[in-house]
């Protein structure tokens, strides 16, 4: 019976830890590790929600190629141009997060408190609270989001585009290719 209660508590705590984390919109293994951001030749992963005349709202996701005074350029299968005036929400991610590692250490730390006897009443909640805060903070690290993004938002994130100075004149936009994702 004690094992059953512990298992239920374990599932509950794991659910709490995971529920505070931000969801990644990028495909699996698309975002680089944090230490490889500066060597990456690709832009960050940008998810945009925008208004359309026919459908109401639409969502598009892809590599952040560049932006100019009027438009944002994304690349997934092909280059997509979205007018800034129509964008209602934007979320940019630039690197892969370690939330599963943080959550795993939290759970292991909580299990280790079983050896503390009566003091586990104090140490287990400490592990839980700090683990939730750390996991949640990690999931929101290097994530730039805005509702109805203004020019200040685009000025802030342009450094994470593939072409921060704008689309070069000698590049054919239709010739741009997306990043190939390989298994690690």
62-86 residue pLDDT tens: 989 999 999 999 998 888 999 999 9
Helix 2-19 with 120-140: angle, nearest 10 deg: 30
Give the residue among 79, 30, 28, 86 at the shortest CA–CA distance from 59. Answer: 86
Side-chain-side CA neighbours of 14 within 13 Å: the count stands at 12
Q: Categorize the per-residue pLDDT at 10 as very low, low, confident or very high, splitting at 50, 70 and 90.
A: low
> What is the reported pLDDT for 8?
63
Classify 63 as helix, strand or coil: strand
pLDDT higher than threshold 80 for residue 88: yes
The two three-digit tokens of residue 178, written as one number: 């997306």
Which residues are CB-contacts of 171 (< 8 A; sequence separation ≥ 6)?
Answer: none
Q: Categorize the per-residue pLDDT at 53 as very low, low, confident or very high, splitting at 50, 70 and 90.
A: confident
Start-end of H helices in 52-116: 99-112
């Amino acid at each position: 019976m004690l094992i059953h209660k512990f298992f239920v508590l374990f599932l509950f705590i794991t659910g709490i830890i995971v529920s505070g984390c931000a969801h990644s919109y990028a495909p699996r293994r698309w975002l680089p590790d944090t230490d490889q951001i500066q060597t990456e030749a690709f832009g960050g992963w940008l998810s945009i929600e925008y208004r359309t005349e026919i459908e109401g709202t639409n969502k598009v996701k892809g590599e952040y190629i560049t932006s100019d005074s009027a438009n944002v350029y994304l690349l997934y299968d092909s280059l997509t141009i979205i007018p800034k005036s129509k964008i209602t929400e934007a979320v940019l991610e630039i690197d892969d997060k370690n939330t599963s590692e943080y959550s795993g250490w939290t759970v292991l730390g909580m299990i280790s408190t079983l050896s503390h006897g009566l003091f586990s009443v104090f140490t287990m909640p400490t592990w839980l609270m700090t683990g939730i805060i750390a996991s949640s903070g990690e999931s929101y690290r290097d994530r730039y989001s805005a509702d109805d993004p203004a020019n200040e938002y685009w000025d802030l994130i342009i450094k994470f585009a593939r072409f921060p100075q704008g689309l070069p004149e000698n590049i054919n936009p239709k010739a741009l290719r997306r990043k190939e994702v390989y298994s690690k």
